[in-house]
A and B are shown apart, each in its own frame.
Chain A
């Protein structure tokens, strides 16, 4: 079928709820009189299609004593967080919270969950490929050239925690089991870090002082007013 055009009203709105033409005027405008005349006095109707026979529903065995409240329908789908205009790929960010607070770090891309993918680089300041929330970050105006880095393979699933294996608790073996729980970073992740970082390091070393800048932590000193600072 041809795509349906949205129905246009022939009755201009004077004020919301009040049209210009009355019912009888609209009857004439729509040409219902002409359609009726063409079909011999009656407006053409389709006979109702026979409905498919619904199976007979048995009366329920159990009626709950109190009315159960059902939650309202919520079709709201969360969108990924809108990225601040100051944060573009290659921006140097200052982390504000967590283990690496104060560290200056290079922004790579925004992941589908809304979190920002960020790397130290690891060799410079010890920050690995990591996810960070936009709210805990200050975007500076310093940018690093990120064109040599391929970040397509990283997404939220890459950073998911591995499912914990169930262990049976035995009294005597309890302490030995604790020791084996150490998480070793898989070699694959270490290689990923290396490939990303080598490309970045070339871009960083081309700018004087940028390497030591990224290695230093940010802190507020006496007389610095954050609302007056330009980042």
Chain B
């Protein structure tokens, strides 16, 4: 096990009203629930089953004030680390794909065909020389 539930662990909510939100575990209530907080959210309790732990950790004491939490998150650079991580990037791509317009999907199809044509040309060249 590499990712532990601890105070300061950043997690992703994967079920419920706040689906897709990044939160920080701020306190552990009991065996099943944690107190969880994010800069744009009211601090609330959530079941561990609704959380997916990430690699990112923030340096905070138990139940910090909102100001301290925000400062600690900025010091740890949570946003950038998340968006650079492969998990974070995949989520961003998923969101972008879901929001594509019908026209965008058409342009995407044209681009894919173009790329495939270039790849096939190169492959044909390589096959010839082999």
- The residues in A between 144 and 162 inclusive whose CB is less than 8 angstroms from any CB of B are none
In the complex formed, the residue of B with least CB distance to A213 is: B106
User: Once the chains bind, are B98 and A218 in contact (CB under 8 Å)?
Assistant: no
Pick from B98, B99, B103, B110: contact of A140, CB under 8 Å:
B103
Complex CA distance for A92 and B103, rounded to whole angstroms: 9
User: Once the chains bind, are B106 and A230 in contact (CB under 8 Å)?
Assistant: no
Contact with B along A197-215 (1 / 0, CB 8 A): 0000000000001101100
CB neighbours of A140 from chain B (8 A): 101-103
User: Once the chains bind, are B107 and A230 in contact (CB under 8 Å)?
Assistant: no
- How many contacts A-B (CB < 8 Å)? 33
Complex CA distance for A25 and B107, rounded to whole angstroms: 79
CB neighbours of A209 from chain B (8 A): 103, 106-107, 110
Q: Which 4 A-B pairs have the closest CB atoms?
A: A142-B103, A140-B102, A213-B106, A231-B102
Pick from B98, B99, B100, B103: contact of A210, CB under 8 Å:
B103
Complex CA distance for A130 and B94, rounded to whole angstroms: 38
Given A209-B110, A212-B110, A230:B98 Cβ within 8 A:
yes
CB neighbours of B98 from chain A (8 A): 228, 230
Chain B at the A interface: SS class: helix
User: Once the chains bind, are A141 and B107 in contact (CB under 8 Å)?
Assistant: no
User: Once the chains bind, are B102 and A142 in contact (CB under 8 Å)?
Assistant: yes
Min CB distance, A93 to chain B, in Å? 10
- A residues sitting closer than 8 Å to B (CB atoms) are 92, 94, 104, 140-142, 209-210, 212-213, 216, 218, 228-231
Max chain A Cβ within 10 angstroms of own Cβ: one of B101, B103, B110: B103
- The residues in B between 56 and 112 inclusive whose CB is less than 8 angstroms from any CB of A are 98-103, 106-107, 110
Complex CA distance for A142 and B106, rounded to whole angstroms: 12
Complex CA distance for A230 and B104, rounded to whole angstroms: 10
In the complex formed, the residue of B with least CB distance to A141 is: B101
Complex CA distance for A92 and B106, rounded to whole angstroms: 13
CB neighbours of A142 from chain B (8 A): 101-103
CB neighbours of A213 from chain B (8 A): 103, 106-107
In the complex formed, the residue of B with least CB distance to A231 is: B102
Max chain A Cβ within 10 angstroms of own Cβ: one of B99, B101, B102, B107: B102
Complex A-B: 24 CB contacts under 8 Å = A92-B102, A92-B103, A94-B102, A140-B102, A140-B103, A141-B101, A141-B102, A142-B101, A142-B102, A142-B103, A209-B103, A209-B106, A209-B110, A210-B103, A212-B110, A213-B103, A216-B106, A228-B98, A229-B102, A230-B98, A230-B100, A230-B101, A231-B101, A231-B102
Complex CA distance for A229 and B100, rounded to whole angstroms: 8
- A-B contact sample (19 more), CB < 8 A, given A104-B102, A231-B102: A92-B102, A140-B101, A140-B102, A142-B101, A142-B102, A209-B103, A209-B106, A209-B110, A210-B103, A212-B110, A213-B106, A213-B107, A218-B102, A228-B98, A229-B102, A230-B99, A230-B101, A230-B102, A231-B101
